[in-house]
């Protein structure tokens, strides 16, 4: 058994443990309706992973512009796709929480607005990729756009939601530097963050390998 296979099985066990822990190990937090506080173990990691994925997309785009290796373009597009997926999941989990807490899935709260803009920006990335036939030009232009798009991410994820008053609960990165959670919550949240990051790394590795094989086959045909 290779190390990759062992890690995959560890990831499976870890994620099962996280899911079980989020329902049975922690108690519902104060100030939240019913069991809704448990969503933090899925909402926060998906949001974190999407920012991580967009960062990797930006870094691999910079690398592509420097060394013009097609594999960097492959990695950038795979990462952007995963970022979009996790961003969508973060939006949906947030909307479910909003329905429970404030009786409306969507009310254009500043955080909801900024995550929608983020989704649109990265959906436009794929629209751009679809509109260019030449592979090298597609790689260059989408690398430029991915870098431009990532410049807006800190604005949208960290700045805009803090300028305007929002219904969103206090985040981990807050002005008081305080951790409001009890220790069980912190443990499960950290474990969930690690698990989701591992999940992203796995999806990213597999996706990059598949796309790299597709790229090689296309080049062989030519």
Q: Who contacts 111 (Cβ-Cβ below 8 Å, separation ≥6)?
A: 94, 161, 166, 168
Toward other proteins, which CB reaches closer, 26 or 53? 53
Report the nearest approach of other proteins to the CB of residue 144 (Å).
5
Report the nearest approach of other proteins to the CB of residue 65 (Å).
5
Toward other proteins, which CB reaches closer, 21 or 119? 119
Backbone φ and ψ for 109, nearest 5 degrees, come out as -55, 150
**Alpha-carbon 222 to chain mean position:** 35
Burial 72-101 (b: 16+ CB within 10 A, else e): bbbbbbbbbbbbbbbbbbbbebbbebbeeb
The footprint of other proteins (CB under 8 A) covers: 65, 113-114, 117, 120-121, 123-124, 127-128, 131-133, 136-137, 140-141, 143-145, 147-149, 151-152, 155-156, 160, 163
Report the nearest approach of other proteins to the CB of residue 148 (Å).
6
**Alpha-carbon 141 to chain mean position:** 23
Report the nearest approach of other proteins to the CB of residue 33 (Å).
30
Report the nearest approach of other proteins to the CB of residue 137 (Å).
6
Toward other proteins, which CB reaches closer, 47 or 199? 47
Toward other proteins, which CB reaches closer, 39 or 117? 117
Report the nearest approach of other proteins to the CB of residue 55 (Å).
15
Give whole-number Cα distances, 67 to 22, 53, 140, 144, 146, in Å. Answer: 44, 21, 11, 14, 16
Q: Who contacts 179 (Cβ-Cβ below 8 Å, separation ≥6)?
A: 172, 186
Toward other proteins, which CB reaches closer, 140 or 187? 140
100, 49 Cβ separation under 8 angstroms? no
Toward other proteins, which CB reaches closer, 87 or 191? 87
């Amino acid at each position: 058994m290779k190390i990759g296979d062992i890690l995959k099985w560890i990831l499976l066990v870890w994620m099962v443990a996280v899911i079980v822990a989020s329902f049975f190990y922690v108690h519902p937090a104060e100030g939240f309706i019913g069991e809704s506080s448990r969503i933090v173990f899925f909402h926060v990691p998906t949001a974190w992973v999407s920012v991580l994925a967009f960062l990797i997309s930006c870094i691999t785009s910079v690398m592509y512009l420097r060394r013009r290796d097609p594999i960097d373009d492959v990695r950038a597009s795979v990462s952007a796709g995963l970022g979009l997926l996790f961003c969508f999941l973060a939006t949906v989990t947030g909307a479910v929480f909003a329905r429970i807490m404030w009786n409306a899935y969507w009310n254009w709260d500043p955080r909801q607005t900024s995550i929608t803009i983020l989704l649109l920006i990265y959906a436009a990335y794929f629209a751009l990729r679809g509109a260019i036939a030449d592979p090298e030009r597609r790689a260059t232009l989408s690398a430029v756009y991915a870098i431009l798009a990532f410049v807006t991410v800190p604005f949208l994820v960290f700045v805009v939601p803090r300028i305007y008053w929002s219904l969103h609960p206090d985040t981990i990165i807050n002005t008081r530097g305080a951790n409001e959670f009890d220790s069980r919550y912190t443990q499960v949240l950290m474990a969930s963050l690690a698990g989701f990051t591992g999940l992203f790394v796995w999806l990213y590795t597999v996706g990059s390998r598949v796309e790299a094989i597709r790229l090689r086959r296309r080049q062989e045909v030519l």
